[in-house]
Each structure stands twice: as structure tokens, then as C-alpha cells.
Amino acid sequence: MKHFTLGAIAALALTTASHAQQQIVVGHALSPASHYGVGADAFLNTLTELSGGTFTGSQAPAGQLGGERDMIEGLQIGSLDVVITSTGPLGNFVPQVYALDLPFLFRDYDHARTVLDGEIGQELLDKIGENNLVGLAWSENGFRHVTNARHPVRTPEDLKGLKLRTMENRVHMAAFEGMGAAPTPMAFPELFTALQQGVVDGQENPVTVITAAKFWEVQKYVSLTGHVYSPAVVLASPILLDSLTEEQKGWFMEAAKASAAATRAEVNRLEEAGVALLRENGMEVITDIDKAPFAALAEESSYAVYTDQYGSEMIERIKAVE
Ligand code: EAX
């Protein structure tokens, strides 16, 4: 009878294990069919294909794993694998990222994508990597607009006294304080109920999120202020990534790039079709907005959140990108 040494059995077990399927969960705060859900599916399909089926997985949408801040903490302790999140709460972990959240800084989608896909974007992904997280790729949420249940917003005066939910983001809160609203930071999974119950009068989000969350059910007015470009980012747990071979890490990077491309394509589609959808569902869309007074107040009150700590060099670099 052939005797197997213990070493041979252990090697066989290790080999088998290394080829065993590994389940990856991609968490995010929006609906499965949202621009993040489309990105999660693209991530998983690409990873499964590149790995020959070694890695498979599923998305955990709709805040099942918690709000974005909770999910980022989950990555740091290794309880979560991959998360697609806006940069909203990320500044609490990587303050340098606040530069991307500054109001009226990005001119348009082309400008934002060029910055994020260039050296500035890479520098900030590297900063994320210095804070017990792995920034795999910049994805996208979109330009944010104000919705509310009380009255049309056309000027900063119209914001006065509005209880407006913001993300847990110091720059955004300072910006809305400066514009005259009363900002209330809140995790996204709590928002729809808070709007339904009148805990807050309004909120601000891109058309992509307003449509994904069906906010027309609890909000009457949307003002296309476009006051902030909201990046999203594909983050991974450093504990997971440290357990992978270099080749496997490359698969995760490629999958994240595919995710970002799919999300951006969906943002493009919804930017075209989304406003009509809001109107079809009964929202009054205010488009005749002079952004200058909003920008003056928002910049005066919020840029210091970033420049007090990091100066204005990064801001000038972002503005200079063509
Ligand atoms: O990332 O919290 C928010 O308003 C975000 O835009 C939403 O969770 C998508």
C-alpha cells in the first residue's frame, strides 16, 4: 500500500484549498440596480472571469451591511471584503480626501474624471492606503442637487431654515451652514424614513441616487444646484488584500477598474434620462438657478475645513487640470 507522508497530505490540502472557491461580498448603500449595483456586478463578473472561478461572490446592497461609514470601518477590521462608497464619510478616515468634496470645485464630469484618473487621483488612492484601507479605483456618484418637501429653492435665501440632511462630511456641513440651511448629518439607510417622517425637510444627492431611492415619494422639489461633485471609490479590506498573491491582487485591481467604468456609464445614462424620470414621478424640477451666490457662500464657509490643515495647493492643482 502506498504510504502518503504527512507533508504530502498537507501539501495536497493546501493546493486544494488554494483552488477552492473564495466568496467575495461587495457592499454598498443603494439598490441592486443602481449605478453602484451595476458597478458591483461588473466587479464580481470581472473577478470571476479573471480568476477562472477561483473567486465568486455577491453584492450586499441597500445598506444591508450598514451605512457607508460603518462599511468603511468594517473593511478596516476585516469583517467586510469590498465596498463601493461615496467619499462622503471617507474624509473622517482620510482627511486629505476632503479636497474632492469641496463645493463648486469641479467644472463638469470630464474635469472630475480626468483629475481622478490622473496623478492627483493616484496620490489620493495612495493616501487611502496609508489609513488601513485599500483604494482600488475611483468610481462615481455624481453631481449633487438639493431636494426638499417644502418649497422651490432658487436662491440661498430659499435655503434658510431648511433642515437638510447631509452626509457625515464636515465640508458639506460647513457649506450648507454657509448657504443658510440647517445641516443634519445622517447615514444614508436612515434617510428615506427621516424624509417620510419630516425629521428633515430635504437632502442633497445626485440624480442617480434620487432615482435609485425613489425620493419623489417623499420630496416635491429638486433644484439642480450641482453644488458638489460626489466621487465614489471601490475600497477593499487590507486584511483580505494582504492574504492574496500578487497575481490575485492584480485581478482585484482590474475588477475595480471595470466596476468604475460600468458605474460611470450608468451615471452618463441616468444624467440623460434621470431628470425626465423625476418629472414623470411628480417632482418639480427647478433649473433656473444662478449658482454664483450659492458658490460664494459655500466656498467661504467650507474651504477652510480643508485649507486650514492642508493649504490650497491641491485645490489649485485640481483647478488647473484641463
Ligand atoms: O453613496 O449618503 C449619500 O447621500 C450618498 O450619496 C449615497 O449613500 C451614495
Residues of the chain with pLDDT > 90, as a percent, come to 93
Q: Which pLDDT value is given to residue 22?
A: 95
- List the Cα angle 45/259/143 in 5-degree steps: 150
Write the residue with the smallest CA distance to atom 3 of ligand 1.
188
Q: Is the pLDDT of residue 193 over 90?
A: yes
For ligand 1, the distance from its centroid to the CA atom of residue 301, given in whole angstroms, is: 22
pLDDT in tens, 229-276: 999 999 999 999 999 999 999 999 999 999 999 999 999 999 989 999
**Domain residue spans in the chain?**
22-320
Q: Which pLDDT value is given to residue 272?
A: 83
Q: Which pLDDT value is given to residue 29?
A: 98
Number of C-beta neighbours around residue 244 at 10 A: 15
Q: Which pLDDT value is given to residue 10?
A: 62
* Whether the Cβ atoms of residue 21 and residue 53 lie closer than 8 Å to each other: yes
Ligand 1 proximal residues by C-beta, below 6 Å:
29-30, 68, 85-86, 88, 141, 167, 188, 205, 209, 230
Q: Is the pLDDT of residue 11 over 90?
A: no
Q: Is the pLDDT of residue 14 over 70?
A: no
Residues of the chain with pLDDT > 70, as a percent, come to 94
For ligand 1, the distance from its centroid to the CA atom of residue 246, given in whole angstroms, is: 32
Which ligand 1 atom is at minimum distance from the Cα of 67?
Answer: 8
Q: Is the pLDDT of residue 17 over 80?
A: no
**More confidently predicted of 33 and 12:** 33
Q: Which pLDDT value is given to residue 16?
A: 52
* Whether the Cβ atoms of residue 282 and residue 87 lie closer than 8 Å to each other: no
Out of 84, 192, 205, 267, give the residue to mutate to test ligand 1, the one with the largest number of ligand atoms within 8 Å of its CB.
205
0.75 cut: is pTM over it?
yes
Mean pLDDT of 49-67: 98
> What residues contact 243, with CB distance under 8 A and at least 6 apart?
none
Q: Which pLDDT value is given to residue 213?
A: 97
> What residues contact 194, with CB distance under 8 A and at least 6 apart?
165, 186, 200
Q: Which pLDDT value is given to residue 8?
A: 67
| CA 318 – CA 90 distance, rounded (Å) | 19
Q: What is the dihedral of CA 92, 94, 98, 100, to 10 degrees?
A: -130
Closest listed residue to residue 319, CA positions, set 145, 90, 88, 102: 102
Q: Which pLDDT value is given to residue 240?
A: 98
DSSP string, 157-225: GGGTT-EEEE-S-HHHHHHHHHHT-EEEE--GGGHHHHHHTTSSSEEEEEHHHHHHTTGGGT--EEEEE
Q: Which pLDDT value is given to residue 7?
A: 66
The gap from C-alpha 153 to its chain's centroid, in whole angstroms, comes to 25
Quote the mean pLDDT of the chain: 95
For ligand 1, the distance from its centroid to the CA atom of residue 66, given in whole angstroms, is: 12
For ligand 1, the distance from its centroid to the CA atom of residue 31, given in whole angstroms, is: 11
* Whether the Cβ atoms of residue 27 and residue 82 lie closer than 8 Å to each other: yes
For ligand 1, the distance from its centroid to the CA atom of residue 205, given in whole angstroms, is: 7
Which ligand 1 atom is at minimum distance from the Cα of 230?
Answer: 6
CB-side neighbour CA atoms (13 Å) of 100: 33
DSSP H or E segment with residue 134: strand 134-148
Burial class (CB in 10 A: 0-12, 13-18, 19+), 20: exposed
C-alpha cell read off for 126: 495612495
| CA 37 – CA 168 distance, rounded (Å) | 22
For ligand 1, the distance from its centroid to the CA atom of residue 189, given in whole angstroms, is: 9
CATH for 22-320? 3.40.190.170
Mean pLDDT of 52-66: 97
Q: Predicted confidence band at 20 (pLDDT cuts at 50, 70, 90)?
A: confident
**More confidently predicted of 73 and 3:** 73
- The neighbouring-strand residues paired with 284 are 221
Which ligand 1 atom is at minimum distance from the Cα of 232?
Answer: 1
Q: Is the pLDDT of residue 106 over 70?
A: yes
pLDDT in tens, 276-290: 999 999 999 999 999
Q: Predicted confidence band at 200 (pLDDT cuts at 50, 70, 90)?
A: very high
